[in-house]
Amino acid sequence: MKKKIFSFVICFSLCIFLIKCDNNKESKPNVVLIMIDDLNDYPEGFSGHPQAITPNIKALTDSGVKFKNAYSNDPMCGPSRSSMMTGIYPHNSSNFWQKSWLKNKVLKNTKTIMEKFMENGYKVIGSGKIMHVNKKDMWTEFKHEADYSPVAYLGEFKKGKKGIAHPDVPKPYRTIKELDGLNMAGGPIDGSYGPLKNLNGIKIDGENVRWAYGPSRSGKTFKYVDENNRDLTPDEINAEWAEKRLNQLADSNDEKPFFLAVGFLRPHTPLIVPQKYFDLYPLDKIKLANIKENDKEDTYLHKVSQFETPGRSVRSIEMYKNLVSSYEDSEEGLKRFTQAYLACVTAVDDNVGQVMNAINNSKLKNNTIVVLVSDHGWTMGEKDHVYKNSLWEESTRVPMTIRVPKLTNPGSIVDHPVSLIDIYPTLLDLAGLDTNTKKNELGRSLDGYSLKPFLKNPNTNDWKGYNGALSVVYSSDKNAEIPSNHHYSVRTKDWRYIIYNTGEEELYNNSIDPKEWNNLLFNKKHPKRDEMIKVLKEMTYPIIPQGLRVLENN
């Protein structure tokens, strides 16, 4: 009898142990991160463009928590992604521009989110553009490097040979010069937009024009006969890869959790996607952004750029001027560019749909966190700017949505301002992982705060983070290693304050002026100014932005 009781106790204890182990496995959720390049607030549900067709992003957003006021910490691809994936503000690492994060003393000695999940037993799988500069050994497996193609080329591709703009793009826009520090970001990238088309018989300067993949695929020819006889775009290749890989993970008996990141390039320039997406947006029906005439007159980016590094902050001004001067009707250039941007937004929405179908139609749906976000926004003619790398709403605001099984309520909306810096600590919190991210004393701990309280209750007051979102724009190479000497912005729920390193200021009441048309500090004072400066100082501590020091000395 005693032996039977003893055997029962052993069996019972073993069952409890196995149940606990199983519960522990369930407590380690999978994570899917969908990164989209240069996507502003145009998708449906984010109050962006009224004509945008993005049913898949909308469906994901409706199934999770939408962050209505989410912002980039540095609205430029390289520093934005480095900051997000290491959890460190640019002013705390001095990584402001496109120099590789692997050469930055602070960032290279800090664990990326991929490395952190890998050391905690996760399969870390990726493809596409996640970091601006990739490092393959921080992934368990990595498939396709970033590829900005299809790009048009004259003649055969050779290593180092530059592409050209889409043959339909006129001068001077098609001849935009390469931006210093950004490989290929001249005419073939930033100066290019239009639908894929059959290039047979088209010649420029006596040479045949052809489509090709990017240098990461050694300039392999991109076949395009027509819509039914063509190669897949890089984004379509990554969507297909993600769908297949997720289905494999769903069917696998491997209980090891995974972190899977897929990066889509569009709507990054060149704005080239299949014709079917352009057909959704007839040119004569295109609605331009709500642009106020002479809106730049009470702003300062165009002024400080004149004596900072040419071709950096001023890039957005150059692109605007070249675009509107390339057509007899100044609005035609903006309409064509907007059409191409919207076409690319819908194309990437289809890519997102492929990823989400693989999750939603498998067992992964019940134990997979999904995060969709962009690295920064994009201006579409507002304040005479077309580009990123400015501190206004259009350039800094990003679509962000997070869905967590058994935690988030579908259709929830968070109004509180947050930023990309908060994603890393959020995912660690949701996965039950510690926040030790320093490799050694040269690294730095996380600067952001977990958004889990908002995921549980979108209206909570129980959040440890700041009341504002911090963004910075690079000023010049001479200030590269001087964190205080760049341009800063802080965005609270209803207000935005900008301080340039020259001391010029901008203040907007976004609750009544969402397009930031009225700079309340233009040749006048405003009682809200001191409060916003206090928030900015708190968020940039221990540095004091040079612009504030200039004000104090005047």
Q: Please say if the pLDDT value at position 182 is more than 70.
A: no
- The pLDDT > 90 percentage for the chain reads 84
Q: What is the reported pLDDT for 308?
A: 56
- The pLDDT > 70 percentage for the chain reads 92
> Band of the pLDDT at 424, cuts 50, 70, 90?
very high
Q: Where are the domains of the chain?
A: 27-440+447-553
Q: What is the reported pLDDT for 209?
A: 95
Residues in Cβ contact with 241 at an 8 Å cutoff, skipping those fewer than 6 apart: 127, 143, 144, 262
Instruction: Count the Cβ atoms, other than its own, within 10 Å of residue 384.
Output: 20
Q: Rounded to the nearest 10 degrees, what angle do helices 423-431 and 77-86 cross at? A: 30
The CATH homologous superfamily for domain 27-440+447-553 is: Alkaline Phosphatase, subunit A (3.40.720.10)
**When comparing pLDDT for 352 and 9, which is higher?**
352
Q: What is the reported pLDDT for 27?
A: 67
> Band of the pLDDT at 146, cuts 50, 70, 90?
very high
Q: What is the reported pLDDT for 158?
A: 80
Q: Please say if the pLDDT value at position 2 is more than 60.
A: no
Q: What is the reported pLDDT for 309?
A: 54
> Band of the pLDDT at 477, cuts 50, 70, 90?
confident
Q: Please say if the pLDDT value at position 23 is more than 60.
A: no
Task: Please count the CA atoms within 13 angstroms of the CA of 41 that sit on its side-chain side.
Answer: 22
Inter-residue contact 198 to 209 (CB < 8 Å): no
**When comparing pLDDT for 361 and 553, which is higher?**
361
Q: What is the reported pLDDT for 162?
A: 86
> Band of the pLDDT at 183, cuts 50, 70, 90?
low
- What digits encode the pLDDT tens for the residues 188-199? 999 999 999 999
Q: What is the reported pLDDT for 20?
A: 44
What is the C-alpha to C-alpha distance for residues 346 and 28, in angstroms, rounded to an integer?
A: 33
- What digits encode the pLDDT tens for the residues 329-375? 989 999 999 999 999 999 999 999 999 999 999 999 999 999 999 99
Q: Please say if the pLDDT value at position 307 is more than 60.
A: no
Q: What is the reported pLDDT for 184?
A: 52
DSSP-based three-state secondary structure for 5 = helix
> Band of the pLDDT at 154, cuts 50, 70, 90?
very high
> Band of the pLDDT at 157, cuts 50, 70, 90?
confident
Cα dihedral 496, 499, 500, 503 sign: positive
Q: What is the reported pLDDT for 21?
A: 45
> Band of the pLDDT at 270, cuts 50, 70, 90?
very high
Inter-residue contact 264 to 235 (CB < 8 Å): yes
Q: What is the reported pLDDT for 178?
A: 73
Task: Give the strand pairing for 193-195 and 203-204.
Answer: unpaired
Torsion of CA 147, 150, 152, 158, to 10 degrees: 40
Q: What is the reported pLDDT for 80?
A: 98
- What digits encode the pLDDT tens for the residues 432-476? 999 999 999 999 999 999 999 999 999 999 999 999 999 999 998
Which pair of structure tokens corresponds to residue 299? 């702003």
Please state, rounded to an integer, the average pLDDT across all residues of the chain: 92
- What digits encode the pLDDT tens for the residues 514-551? 999 999 999 999 999 999 999 999 999 999 999 999 99
- What digits encode the pLDDT tens for the residues 210-251? 999 999 999 999 999 999 999 999 999 999 999 999 999 999
Instruction: Tell me 138's DSSP state.
Output: G
Q: Please say if the pLDDT value at position 379 is more than 90.
A: yes
Q: What is the reported pLDDT for 181?
A: 53
Stated pTM of the model: 0.94
